[in-house]
Structure 1
Amino acid sequence: MTLIERGTLGGTCINTGCVPSKIMIRAAHIANWRTESPFDAGLSSQAPVVDRAKLLEQQQRRVEELRDAKYEGILRDHPAITVLKGEARFVDAHSLTVTLNEGGEQTVRFDRAFIGTGARPAAPPVPGLADTPYLTSTGALALDTLPKRLIVIGASVVALELAQAFARLGSQVTVLARSRLLSQEDPAVGDAVEAAFRREGIEVFKQTQASRVDYLDNLFIVDTNAGTLQADHLLVATGRTPNTEALHLASLGVETARGATLVDEQLQTTVPGLYAAGDCTDQPEFVYVAAAGGSRAAVNMAGGEATLELSAMPAVIFTDPQVATVGLTEAEAIEQGFSVDTRELDLENLPRALVNFDTGGFIKMVAERDSGRLLGVQAVAGEAGELIQTAVMALRARMTVHDIANELFPYLTMVEGLKLCAQTFTKDVTQLSCCAG
Structure 2
Amino acid sequence: MPVEDLDLVIVGSGSAGFAAAIRASGLGLSVAMVENGTVGGTCVNTGCVPSKALLAAAEARHTAVDAGRFPGLAAASLGLDLPALMDGKRALVEWMRREKYVDLAEDYGWRILKGRAEFAGTAGEPVVVVRCPADGENTDGGENTDDGEDTDDGGNTADGGAARLRGRHYLIATGSTPWIPKLPGLADVDYLTSQTAMELEEVPESLLVIGGGFVAVEQAQLFARLGSKVTMLVRSRILSGEEPEVSMAVSSVFHDEGIRVVRRAVPTAVARGSAGVTVTADVAGAPAEFSAARVLMATGRRPVTRGLGLDRIGVTTGPRGEAVVDGQLRTSNDRVWAAGDVTGHHEFVYVAASHGALAVDNAFTGAGREVDYRHMPRVAFTSPAVAAVGLTDRQANDGGIPCECRVLPLEFVPRALVNRDTRGFIKIVAEQESGRILGITAVAHDAGELAAAGVHVLASGTTVHELASRWAPYLTMAEGLKIAAQSYTADVSRLSCCAV
TM band (smaller chain): over 0.9
Aligned equivalents of 1:201, 1:39: Cα separation in 2: 17
Residues 176 and 206 in structure 1, CA contact (< 8 A), matched pair in contact too: yes
Structure 1 position 412 matched with structure 2 position 480: no
Aligned to 1:263: 325
Residues 38 and 357 in structure 1, CA contact (< 8 A), matched pair in contact too: no
CA RMSD of aligned residues (A): 1.4
Aligned to 1:142: 199
Aligned equivalents of 1:132, 1:6: Cα separation in 2: 27
Residues 143-179 of structure 1: per-residue CA shift (max 9 Å, x gap):
1111011110011100110110100011111111011
Aligned equivalents of 1:351, 1:376: Cα separation in 2: 22
Q: Which range is displaced more, 97-106 or 47-56?
A: 97-106
Paired amino acid for 2:115: G
Structure 1 position 394 matched with structure 2 position 457: yes
Residues 235 and 265 in structure 2, CA contact (< 8 A), matched pair in contact too: yes
Cα distance, 1:44 vs structure 2 = 2.2
Q: Which range is displaced more, 32-41 or 68-77?
A: 32-41
TM-score between the two structures when normalised by the length of structure 1: 0.97
Cα distance, 1:251 vs structure 2 = 3.0
Structure 1 position 228 matched with structure 2 position 260: no
Paired amino acid for 1:98: V
Aligned equivalents of 2:276, 2:437: Cα separation in 1: 51
Aligned to 1:327: 390
Paired amino acid for 2:214: V
Aligned to 1:122: 179
Cα distance, 1:40 vs structure 2 = 4.9
Equivalences for residues 106-121 of structure 1 within 5 A: 106-121=163-178
Aligned to 2:440: 377
Aligned equivalents of 1:293, 1:240: Cα separation in 2: 18
Aligned to 1:61: 91
Selected match of 2:189 from 132, 142, 146: 132
Paired amino acid for 1:259: G
Aligned to 1:317: 380
Selected match of 2:233 from 161, 176, 184: 176
Equivalences for residues 16-415 of structure 1 within 5 A: 16-79=46-109, 81-91=110-120, 92-93=122-123, 94-102=126-134, 105=161, 106-216=163-273, 219-226=276-283, 227-257=288-318, 258-305=320-367, 306-415=369-478
* 3-state SS in 2 of match to 1:280: helix
* 3-state SS in 1 of match to 2:341: coil
* 3-state SS in 1 of match to 2:438: strand
Aligned to 1:429: 492
Aligned equivalents of 2:282, 2:133: Cα separation in 1: 45
Aligned equivalents of 1:110, 1:382: Cα separation in 2: 47
* 3-state SS in 2 of match to 1:23: helix
Residues 68 and 74 in structure 2, CA contact (< 8 A), matched pair in contact too: no
Residues 339 and 38 of structure 1, relative CA distance in 2, 3 Å threshold: farther
Cα distance, 1:247 vs structure 2 = 1.3
Cα distance, 1:218 vs structure 2 = 7.3
Number of equivalent positions: 436
Paired amino acid for 2:118: R
Residues 393 and 78 of structure 1, relative CA distance in 2, 3 Å threshold: closer
Relative contact order, higher structure (CA 8 A, sep 6+): 2
Q: Which range is displaced more, 70-79 or 55-64?
A: 70-79
Residues 73-118 of structure 1: per-residue CA shift (max 9 Å, x gap):
1223443x22211111111342122221158613222211001000
Paired amino acid for 1:215: R
TM-score between the two structures when normalised by the length of structure 2: 0.85
Residues 268-320 of structure 1: per-residue CA shift (max 9 Å, x gap):
11210111110000321100000011011122232241433211000010011
Aligned equivalents of 1:215, 1:386: Cα separation in 2: 43
Residues 38 and 358 in structure 1, CA contact (< 8 A), matched pair in contact too: no
Residues 377 and 38 of structure 1, relative CA distance in 2, 3 Å threshold: farther
Aligned equivalents of 2:371, 2:377: Cα separation in 1: 14
Please, which runs of 5 or more residues in structure 1 have no aligned partner? none
